[in-house]
Amino acid sequence: MTKKPNRVIEVDAVVVKFAGDSGDGMQLSGSQFSDTTAFAGNDLATFPDYPSEIRAPQGTIAGVSGFQLHIGHKEIDTPGDLADVLVALNPAALKANMKWVKPGATIIIDIDNFDNKSYKKAGFIEDPIGDGTLDGYNVVKAPITQLSKTTVKDLGIDPKSAERTKNQFALGILYWLFNKDLKYGNEFIDKKFGGKKPLLAEANKRVLLAGYNYAETVEALRTTYQINPIKNRSGKFRNITGNTATAWGLVAAAERAGLDLFLGSYPITPASEILQELSGMKQFGVKTFQAEDEIAGINSAIGASFAGDFAVTSTSGPGLALKGEAIGLAVITELPLVIVNVQRGGPATGLPTKPEQADLMQALYGRNGESPCVVIAASTPANCFRYAYMAGKIALEHMTPVILLTDGYLANGSELWNIPDISKMPSIEPPLVKDNSDYEPYRRNPETLARYWALPGQAGLRHRVGGLEKEDITGVVSHNPANHEKMVYLREEKVQRVANVIPDLKVSGKDHGELLVVGWGGTYGALISAVKDLQEKGKDVSLAQFNYIKPLPKNTAEVFSRFKKIIVCEINMGQFANYLRMCHPEFRYEQYNKIQGLPFMIAELKEKFNQMLEEN
Amino acid sequence: MAVNVKSKVPTTKEDFKSDQVVKWCAGCGDFAILSAIQSALVESGVRKEDAVFVSGIGCSSRFPYYMNTYGFHGLHGRGAAIASGIKVANPKLDVWHITGDGDSMAIGGNHFIHLVRRNIDMNVIIFNNKIYGLTKGQYSPTTPRGSITKTSPDGTIENPFKPGELTMGSQGTFFARVVDTEPKRMKEVFLEASRHRGTSVVEVLQNCVIFNNRIHSAITGKDVRDDHQIHLEHGKPMIFGKQKDKGLVLRNSRLEVVTIGENGITEKDLLVHDVHNPDDTTHYMLVRMTLPEYPVATGVIRSCEQFATYEAELEAQIANARHKSSMKSLQDLIEKNAFTVGE
């Protein structure tokens, strides 16, 4: 282990992809290696790529589960376009990922799984090892399964468990290849198997070491890579996924508002982890109500909001459609409510495990009647925490439903999170009424237009709310034409006034010039990477990424006016571009759209931006 | 429903009346129900600020506006879900869910069965007039098969639900049936429902004077009610009839109507009503009884607190998690497994 390799090359960043059968422990391997690189001080971003079937047939393309990890010495904004290193535990994993590796990449395969039967099952016509498919790559053909089994032979564990240690063998090779300390790997294994399964922990640790030692002896791995710790960074960090960050941001908001958190929700991919995470947070007074359907999820949350909890419902696109009527109820009753929508490919069931940004119009307008909500979007896995918190703050202080948009890419992806001091986050002060016999349910704060929140159980504040139009101030049911129009405008104006408290739109790069790239939400990583690359090459391009969508930041038009060209990039047919055309018709918006259930690639963005810069 | 805080000043029925003009049709059965619930609340001793009336959509669902308590007039069918959220958020509140046969059995059917299954402590009052009133006369899921309505000009070809059957099928812990023509009994049953810990379902056979007038008259009519209704009381033999000479016995695993004094039958042979029996087999048979073979059962048919309520279980889990956890705030959690860079 102490023997030095022949050559160590320092690199800024590297993309590693693990791929195998779902059930081979690819997600676990990814998490283990992510934690190790994080402890080593690298920046990172990850993205799991798994089928919607739980265990599709073994050895088939449909059953391939992957995990991509981008680690760097510099700031990392995306899980990376193409892999420098691919670990493929079977022919199907190789076949599915060949198009996502860089030319000349290192490909580590488990040669034990490359028999005639397996490569045919994966859809190769000839044996990919012999037919030239892998020419030009640095291929490491390791007998991973066999060596893993041999390593644990004397431990007396069952054959199935013995074989399942093979992911650690592959990891061991990577620890060698990237000069990572096995200590972190061993700690991860201990934590995973803990005191409960000491024998399995021992087996996995032994195989990890065996993989490491194996790599040391292999000619193809004489060159190893060093990714130095990121500089100019200090503080407390941890790796976090978007869904966990969302759940925690909601709890933080409840804590700072001094309220209990109530989540009414129904499981749906890729949002279920929010419900799962919160259901295990009862020590903070969190109540989760797994409802019979999406509709009951949101209606129970509206009830909880009426009774004084910080109420949330979480879902994905199809669920948002089912919740539409109830969002309208929260709009007209003017109760605080956060609706988290983890977007996925649509319509209908669509692409449950793939990201898309096509629910924007649904969030803005997908309801009967004039039914304005605040709409905000997180843009990185870690900042889901901040935007979940801000969604809570706005809902509670402005007495309005807030839709928080994330997507499958943010939800399951992870990155390093600089842990905040929650006590220093902006305070949350809901307009709660203490006993007051003059209370009228639709009297408003003159500044925000928020009505006041009177909780049941208090004398003197008895009132009734509901889905029928109410008279201004008194809250009595009213069909008066002028009153209805007044209330419609009041509800819209209340939402618009949220613009007074949200930050201005920021521009990454020069604040004026040739080309402004506009994005919103989860495309930030790819857009900023592409824009930064071009800026480094001296190109006149800047990025404005929107997190606040309704209302738009107040300086939006001003920012737009300082650029010659604007291109709006989205994972949909152009919903945000159309929204901007409506809100700010004075500008011309070019579009760049991709709707393949895949995130943007940095390369394709750069090509498009270059093309726009070269025109005229 | 357990009462939380007794008021110091005795509350009167007037205290529970809101200042809103009641806008039901003249002669509607809803008036009597409103009055009976207000009377029951006075007797239960609940403070009016602790009571919350929640409804969906329909004629019955205007109810919260007429109560001087907290109220929530929700969406069609969703009252049960809204009420669930209210009770779970604040278990100290006395929650009443007012609904109709369309609201609870059709558009809100799913929420109804799951509410009962969870056994959240609230009172569900179903105004069953077997017709859609607010939308003006279409058939409902409780409309008798073959009925001619605006949307079934040739007669309905669907079997009706019985709210009691759905309640039993959902492992309900309380079910009662009353008729809107008997205010005193209604009040008594509402009071029983309010005292039960768990989801208490009360079906009120309510008359829609406009679209389904006299739909229950074969059960409620003065001349027939004694023979066509059996009013069940816990611990008492199942006797009915004008002459108090009819009763129910169990024969070959099914209920049978017998006449006391005929074929050697005496009062001792009759079934004795046991509302608390955890085994709901008999309760199920009782809710299914229909004319003309049987009298229709009224009164409290089942009241059995064999399960803890949902919100009590949840509060216990929260208390346990708080007790066991060493973490005082979220900050402790997010810093777990964190590492420090650059210091």
Which domains, and CATH codes, for chain B? 1-215 (3.40.50.970)
- B88 touching A (Cβ < 8 Å): yes
The distance in angstroms from the start CA to the end CA of chain A is: 59
Are A277 and A254 in contact by the 8 Å Cβ rule? The answer is: no
Which residues fall within 8 angstroms of residue A579, CB to CB, at 6 or more apart?
A360, A361, A364, A549
- B325 touching A (Cβ < 8 Å): yes
Rounded-to-10 torsion of CA A343, A349, A354, A359: -30
Q: Which of A306, A322, A428, A471 to mutate to test the interface with B (most CBs of B within 10 A)?
A: A306
Residues in A 24-43 with any Cβ partner in B closer than 8 A: 38-39, 41
Q: What ipTM did this prediction achieve?
A: 0.96
Q: How many CB atoms lie within 10 A of CB B216?
A: 24
Mean pLDDT along residues A262-291: 98
Residues in A 276-305 with any Cβ partner in B closer than 8 A: 281-285, 287, 289, 291-293, 295-296, 299-305
| Residue B125 identity (one-letter amino acid) | I
A513-614 CATH? 3.40.50.920
Which residues fall within 8 angstroms of residue A330, CB to CB, at 6 or more apart?
A298, A302, A305, A337, A400, A401
Q: Do B342 and A235 touch (CB under 8 A)?
A: yes
Mean pLDDT along residues A352-381: 97
Report pLDDT digits (tens) over A525-545: 999 999 999 999 999 999 999
Successive 10-residue mean pLDDT values, chain B, 343 residues: 50 91 92 97 96 95 95 97 98 98 97 98 97 93 96 97 98 98 97 98 95 94 96 98 97 96 96 97 97 98 96 98 94 89 62
Q: Do B324 and A283 touch (CB under 8 A)?
A: yes
Nearest Cα to A567, choosing from A596, A608, A530? A608
With residue B129 as reference, give the H or E element that holds it: none
Q: What integer pLDDT is reported at residue B138 of this predicted model?
A: 96
Share of chain A above pLDDT 70, in %: 98
Tokens encoding A130 = 């012999």
Q: What integer pLDDT is reported at residue B3 of this predicted model?
A: 45
Q: How far apart are CA B171 and CA A115, in angstroms?
A: 56
Q: Is the pLDDT of residue A364 over 80?
A: yes
Q: Contacts of residue B317 in chain A, CB cutoff 8 Å?
A: 282
The mean of the pLDDT values for chain A is 94
Are B54 and B69 in contact by the 8 Å Cβ rule? The answer is: no
Are B180 and B207 in contact by the 8 Å Cβ rule? The answer is: yes
Nearest Cα to A481, choosing from A493, A472, A473? A472
Mean pLDDT along residues A35-55: 83
Q: Which of A289, A414, A478 to mutate to test the interface with B (most CBs of B within 10 A)?
A: A289
Q: Contacts of residue A303 in chain B, CB cutoff 8 Å?
A: 54, 72, 81-87, 89
Q: How far apart are CA B60 and CA A429, in angstroms?
A: 37
User: DSSP code of B295?
Assistant: P
User: DSSP code of A227?
Assistant: -
Q: How far apart are CA A287 and CA A309, in angstroms?
A: 9
Nearest Cα to A121, choosing from A150, A157, A154, A96? A96
Q: Contacts of residue A289 in chain B, CB cutoff 8 Å?
A: 84-85, 88
Of A229, A262, A460, which has the smallest distance from its Cβ to B89's Cβ?
A: A262
Domains of chain A, by residue range, sit at 7-226, 235-501, 513-614
Q: What integer pLDDT is reported at residue A293 of this predicted model?
A: 98
pLDDT confidence bin for A57, thresholds 50/70/90: confident
Q: Is the pLDDT of residue A66 over 70?
A: yes
Are B325 and B206 in contact by the 8 Å Cβ rule? The answer is: no
Nearest Cα to B185, choosing from B42, B40, B290? B40
Q: Do B340 and A252 touch (CB under 8 A)?
A: no
pLDDT confidence bin for A62, thresholds 50/70/90: confident
Q: Do B74 and A329 touch (CB under 8 A)?
A: yes
Nearest CA in chain A to B73: A466
Are B140 and B101 in contact by the 8 Å Cβ rule? The answer is: yes
Tokens encoding B328 = 């005082």
Q: Is the pLDDT of residue A40 over 90?
A: no
Are A541 and A605 in contact by the 8 Å Cβ rule? The answer is: no
Q: What integer pLDDT is reported at residue A131 of this predicted model?
A: 84
Domains A235-501 and A513-614 are alike in CATH topology = yes
Residue A543 to residues A205, A216, A559, A580: CA-CA distances in angstroms? 45, 44, 11, 16
Nearest CA in chain B to A282: B318
pLDDT confidence bin for A63, thresholds 50/70/90: confident
- B339 touching A (Cβ < 8 Å): yes
**Residue for token pair 């070019």:** A590
- B6 touching A (Cβ < 8 Å): no
Rounded-to-10 torsion of CA B45, B111, A340, B321: 60
**Residue for token pair 């590693």:** A16
CATH of A7-226, picked from 3.30.70.100, 2.160.20.10, 3.40.920.10, 3.30.70.20, is 3.40.920.10
- A368 touching B (Cβ < 8 Å): no
Q: Rounded to a whole number, what is the distance in Å from the CA of B262 to chain A's nearest CA?
A: 51
Report pLDDT digits (tens) over A206-215: 999 999 999 9
Query: What are the phi and psi torsion angles at A13 (to 5°)?
Result: -155, 155
Quick one: fold of A235-501?
A: Rossmann fold (3.40.50)
User: DSSP code of A546?
Assistant: E
Residue A464 to residues A29, A437, B55, B66, B126: CA-CA distances in angstroms? 54, 15, 11, 10, 20
Q: Contacts of residue A262 in chain B, CB cutoff 8 Å?
A: 85, 88-89
Q: Do B322 and A282 touch (CB under 8 A)?
A: yes
With residue A278 as reference, give the H or E element that holds it: helix A272-279
| β-bridge partners, A444 | A451
Q: Do B49 and A461 touch (CB under 8 A)?
A: yes
A597: left (phi over 0), alpha (psi -120 to 50) or beta: left
pLDDT confidence bin for A220, thresholds 50/70/90: confident
Q: Do A284 and B54 touch (CB under 8 A)?
A: no
Q: Rounded to a whole number, what is the distance in Å from the CA of B54 to chain A's nearest CA?
A: 9
pLDDT confidence bin for A53, thresholds 50/70/90: low
Q: How many CB atoms lie within 10 A of CB A89?
A: 28
- B330 touching A (Cβ < 8 Å): yes
Q: Contacts of residue B48 in chain A, CB cutoff 8 Å?
A: 462
- B296 touching A (Cβ < 8 Å): no
